[in-house]
Structure 1
């Protein structure tokens, strides 16, 4: 009796391992992403599916949907819903299980929820409706973070913002000329930080007056922050 039970447990363990190695129908996406109205948002997405035992897959069709509306697809000739026509790009490579999408010109109605659907004509199709993404549409941007360091004969000012559209990051402008550099880094799955750094040799006229940093977002909205340079 004990031997039969041992074989039964071993059989179930082998089945579980086989299923785990072949994968499940899952999509890794953020639940909610804040995005500025008029700007753009990149929805990062990776997906998995149970690997077929003997079939070699070579065709993938991907669709982002909002209810019954098709928002984006990797099929270039597909006619999208008018509401999203020319506003979306399918950035992912389905062969590598990447289903990332860009949505441009964010509107108040773009709250979602959105979900991804994969179609493999020689295998199966699946809608990842348990992995939906909502967008929190922000009316106005937050002021950028601004810091200034005065060291001997050099001023270094850094201006940074976080955003959700690495494909089209914000632009920066300064009220003072100098050497400007810019860099971006990923903070989490959907959030990025872009920073502009201004370096210059100060003149007496630079002190006790405002140094301004202005950020221009995709879509035209602006945010500004300023500080007063103090003499050392």
Structure 2
């Protein structure tokens, strides 16, 4: 009798585990919130998983939506609402599970919440309505982070963060010199870009501000400044 109860318990646990696995077959990984500069662009990273099947699949249709409005799709014959026409597209390859979405010319009204729907005609469809993305749109870019080192040469850096790696910000300096720019991925949705300026200082350069101007997509700018202090010879 005990063996039968134990066996029934095991069967129940296995059934529950299988049920849990089936329920979790549709999975998605998206950020819940992303801060975005108005007029700039943003890349919303997205990875999804669907139930396995032995069927041969050759069509995937993806839709990013806000309520009932489609804001992006890989379906070329679909015309988006005028609000998103020509400035929104899915850049990921849906058949490989990449549902990344890129939005250009971000407006104050582009807050969301947005969610993703996948349709696989030979298999199944699913709407990830509980996994929403909200854009926190701000108007004024933050000043860059700056540093300077003065030896025989001046090495100054000017760094900002952004959410559009395909269109990084541009830098200009108030002094001539050798300029180098590099970008780095900070997390799934945030990037940093740093401009480094190197030059040999003249006496007139000391106790003067060295300015860095950063221009983002959409022509919004921010500025930073550091003072060149002559290194003591003592």
Query: What range describes the TM-score normalised by the shorter chain of this pair?
Result: over 0.9
**Counterparts in 2 of 1:67 and 1:18: CA distance versus 1, 3 Å:** closer
SS in 1 for 2:135: strand
| CA deviation after TM superposition for structure 1 residue 22, in Å | 9.5
Number of aligned positions between the proteins:
230
Matching residue of 2:112:
112
TM-score (norm 2): 0.92
State the partner residue of 1:46: 47
Superimposed CA distance per residue, residues 43-87 of structure 1 (whole angstroms, 9 cap, x where no aligned partner): 1111112223x3232211101011111111112232111100011
- CA distance change for structure 1 residues 6 and 140 in 2, over 3 Å: closer, same or farther? same
Equivalent residue number for residue 159 of structure 1: 158
Deviation string, structure 1 residues 103-123 (Cα, Å, up to 9, x no partner) = 110111100010000000011
Are residues 1:24 and 2:25 paired? yes
List alignment gaps of at least 5 residues for structure 2. Answer: none
C-alpha change, 1:47 and 1:215, in structure 2 (3 Å) is same
Match of 1:216 in 2: 215
Aligned structure 1 segments of 4 or more residues deviating by more than 4 angstroms: 12-15
Cα RMSD of the aligned pairs, angstroms, is 1.7
Q: Which runs of 5+ in 1 are unaligned?
A: none
Secondary structure, aligned partner of 2:21:
helix
TM-score (norm: length of structure 1): 0.93
